Amino acid sequence: MKDVSGNSNSGTLYLVATPIGNMEDITLRALRVLGESDVIVAEDTRRTGILLKHYEIKKPLISYHGFNEARRTPAIIERLLGGDDVALVSDAGMPGISDPGLRIVQAARHEGIRVEPIPGPCALVAALSASGLQTDEFHFIGFLPHKSGKRMKRLESLKSIPGTLVLYESPYRIEKLLREMNEVFPERRIVLARELTKKFEEFLAGTPGELLDTYCSRKIKGEFVVLVSPM
Ligand code: SAM
């Protein structure tokens, strides 16, 4: 068996979970690692800057997002190989979960660099744990494709999957998603986990049709995790 825990000369790549809405949701270990790392690699340096300022952490920041990750990864790997410890953070929650992270984790593992998760907030886990839906088997779907035809095809393909389905969706496409679900799973119980950890957090449950009525009458806003109960 190959030991992938990392070689001792290089630094460590830490994947640090950050709050998904409530500034208090950060672990003591995350704060220590952010404070001790040589550099913080952030999806949005402005947003991470606010978090760091709140916790009085001063560190150099490097921007790392969907549009520059391919270009930036080699230089970050060089720093790690040179012995620097690097903390990777995304805009919210766990890096690598529907956020940048996979590319640099794979590159680091390829070089034998140690990779450590610093667990904490993650919207999918928070939503699932309090949804009241089955948790012993669930499937994380993440975001559906943007184009209508591909979305419907993907939703159709999910119909036969057992366990709870967990999806992420942009606030701008929630109504569209509920309409699509009303066609594909009209009988299923859906839970909308809205604004998790924030002031207006709520869990709304019903069939897609019932939730569409609520959504349209109340003009519900915010970030959502969408959960679909098993057949
Ligand atoms: N890496 C993040 C995590 O660990 O959960 C997910 C990032 S993904 C780009 C953003 C999506 O996560 C949003 O569109 C929404 O579906 C979900 N999300 C993030 N924060 C949320 C919150 N506070 N309440 C509800 N959903 C949230």
**Which residue stretches of 37-99 are H helix?**
45-54, 69-81
What pLDDT does residue 3 have? 63
**Cα(168) to centroid of ligand 1, in Å?**
7
pLDDT of residue 1 exceeding 80, the answer is no
| Ligand 1 atom with least separation from CA of 125 | 5
> What gap in Å lies between CA 127 and CA 124, rounded to an integer?
5
The full length of the chain comes to: 231
Q: What is the pLDDT of residues 179-195, one digit of tens each?
A: 999 999 999 999 999 99
What is the share, in percent, of the chain residues with pLDDT greater than 90?
93
Q: Is the CB of 52 under 6 A from ligand 1?
A: no
Q: What is the mean pLDDT of residues 119-143?
A: 98
The full set of domain ranges for the chain reads 12-118, 123-228
Q: Is the CB of 124 under 6 A from ligand 1?
A: yes
Place domain 123-228 in its CATH homologous superfamily. Tetrapyrrole methylase, C-terminal domain (3.30.950.10)
- Please determine whether the domains at 12-118 and 123-228 fall in the same fold group of CATH: no
Q: What is the mean pLDDT of residues 108-127?
A: 98
Q: What is the pLDDT of residues 21-47, one digit of tens each?
A: 999 999 999 999 999 999 999 999 999
Residue 2 binned pLDDT confidence (cut-offs 50, 70, 90) = low
Q: Is the CB of 174 under 6 A from ligand 1?
A: no
Residue 207 binned pLDDT confidence (cut-offs 50, 70, 90) = very high
What pLDDT does residue 218 have? 85
Q: Retrieve residue 187's tokens.
A: 């009988």
Given 3.30.465.10, 3.40.50.300, 3.40.1010.10, 2.40.50.140, which CATH number is that of 12-118?
Answer: 3.40.1010.10
> What gap in Å lies between CA 83 and CA 11, rounded to an integer?
4
Burial 38-53 (b: 16+ CB within 10 A, else e): ebbbbbbbeebeebbe
Q: Is the CB of 228 under 6 A from ligand 1?
A: no
**Cα(167) to centroid of ligand 1, in Å?**
10
